[in-house]
Amino acid sequence: MRMDCELAGESLEERAAGLLPAARAAELDEHISLCPACARQLRWISGLKASVRALPRAALPAELRAALLDAAGPRPGPLDWLRARRATAAGLGFASAFAAAGLALWLRAPEERLPLDEVLTEHGRYEATMPAADRESLYAGLAEAGEAR
Amino acid sequence: MAIHEAQRRLVEEYSERGYQFAFGLCGNSEDAKELVQEAFYRILRKWDSYDAGQPLEGWFLGILRNLYMDSLKRYERRHGVSLDAPLAGRSGGDLNLADAMADPNEEALLDRLCRRNLGARVRRALDGLSREHKAVLTLLDIEGLTYGQIGQVMDCPLNTVRSRVNRARAALKKVILEKGKEAYADGL
């Protein structure tokens, strides 16, 4: 069957894009050679395709790139390895000191340990019974110490 | 630190391509920037779920495409239109390119077009197209995608891609012809 203009028109885009199967392309080419209207239409499509393809491509805006890199996290620098090592060493040092202090407290003899509740109860009892003059003198001293600091 | 390095590499290697892809889909810089930013943020949030056996680019472009499709559906809902609606004033959809044959200026325009002498005019005409027309032409002509790939990106069957391409091309030609006639009428 000979190709008519309607059928040819549906295939021109794919012909211009080189996406038409060879047999169909040959059939279309035969029609185009006899039909100036379809030939002109193919020229238009090819010209438009080439012009769109030749347009400069959109460039990534610099501020968008910077924002994305910020979101991705810190850039690894040449001294990061050393900093990481130092940070690890410092962390280990602090952890060791806390562990040693905790162990020393725990290893104290049971009779030397002072439960917190007992200490607070004893303090409250002393404050309630201490002479008024001593209390004023104590608070004045604490206030002076606070101002000095 | 290793995660940050990989994420920075993702940005460095794919942000340009992603932006061009998004620009092709959206047709303008503001929407493209928003789309790329959201896609990257989503990837950074879902980093743990990334399957290292899959190509990173495919994962990224897939997220970009899904975001685009969501925005397209929102657009359709908001404006109450389907992107596959026929061109305004046309009952049959495609423009008949022979309609313009009688115009003596058409040949001159076509010659200039074939000599790639109409870059600025083509850019303006492309920018003036509807969102989906510009997207389909950009994906086909600039990104070099096949009809099948465009169908995957735009989530539509091959025949729909074919008709969208035909309509978009006809719309582009119509705008260029109209602008060309105005320019000739103005003696430019």
Task: Identify which of B36, B165, B18 has the alpha carbon closest to the alpha carbon of residue B94.
Answer: B165
- What is the residue range of A25's domain? 5-54
What is the three-state SS of chain A? CCCCHHHHHHHHHHHHCCCCCHHHHHHHHHHHHHCHHHHHHHHHHHHHHHHHHHCCCCCCCHHHHHHHHHHHCCCCCCCHHHHHHHHHHHHHHHHHHHHHHHHHHHCCCHHHCCCHHHHHHHHHHHHHHCCHHHHHHHHHHHHHHHHHC
In a domain, A105, yes or no: no
Instruction: Assess contact for A35 and A8: CB atoms under 8 A.
Output: yes
CATH 1.10.10.10: which residues of chain B? 98-185
A21 chain-B contacts, CB cut-off 8 A = none
In a domain, A91, yes or no: no
pLDDT digits (tens, 9 = 90+) for A96-117: 665 665 555 555 555 555 555 5
Q: Using alpha carbons, list the distances in angstroms from residue B109 to A13, A89, B77, B117, B145.
A: 20, 74, 39, 9, 28
> Which residue is listed with tokens 């008949």?
B96
Q: What is the pLDDT of residue B88?
A: 41
CB contact under 8 A, A76 and B5: yes
Quickly name the fold that domain B2-79 has. Answer: Rna Polymerase Sigma Factor; Chain: A (1.10.1740)
Handedness of CA B176, B178, B180, B186 (dihedral sign): negative
Give the number of A-B residue pairs with CB atoms closer than 8 Å.
Answer: 119
pLDDT digits (tens, 9 = 90+) for B76-132: 676 655 555 544 433 333 444 444 344 556 777 777 777 766 778 888 888 888 888
- Band (pLDDT 50/70/90 cuts) for residue B159 is very high
CATH 1.10.1740.10: which residues of chain B? 2-79
Lowest mean pLDDT among B13-27, B72-86, B157-171: B72-86
Instruction: Assess contact for B15 and B36: CB atoms under 8 A.
Output: yes
DSSP B130: -
Handedness of CA B155, B160, B161, B164 (dihedral sign): negative
Q: What is the tally of structural domains in chain A? A: 2
Q: Is pLDDT above 70 for A134?
A: no
Q: What is the pLDDT of residue B152?
A: 83
Q: Is pLDDT above 80 for A73?
A: no
In a domain, A70, yes or no: no
∠ CA B91-B96-B102, rounded to 5°: 130
User: Which of B113, B137, B164 is the best residue to mutate to test the A interface, defined by the most A CB atoms within 10 Å of its own CB?
Assistant: B113
Q: What is the pLDDT of residue A24?
A: 92
Domain B98-185 in CATH 1.20.81.30? The answer is: no
B16/chain A closest Cα distance in angstroms: 5
Lowest mean pLDDT among A38-42, A68-72, B70-74: B70-74
Q: What is the pLDDT of residue B132?
A: 82
DSSP per position, B63-92: HHHHHHHHHHHHHHHHHT--TTSPPTT-SS
User: Which of B31, B47, B105, B142 is the best residue to mutate to test the A interface, defined by the most A CB atoms within 10 Å of its own CB?
Assistant: B142
- Band (pLDDT 50/70/90 cuts) for residue A19 is confident
Q: What is the pLDDT of residue A14?
A: 92
Q: Is pLDDT above 70 for A35?
A: yes
Average pLDDT across chain A, whole number:
73
Type of residue numbered B51: D
Would the ipTM clear 0.85, i.e. be above it? no
Handedness of CA B87, B91, B94, B68 (dihedral sign): positive
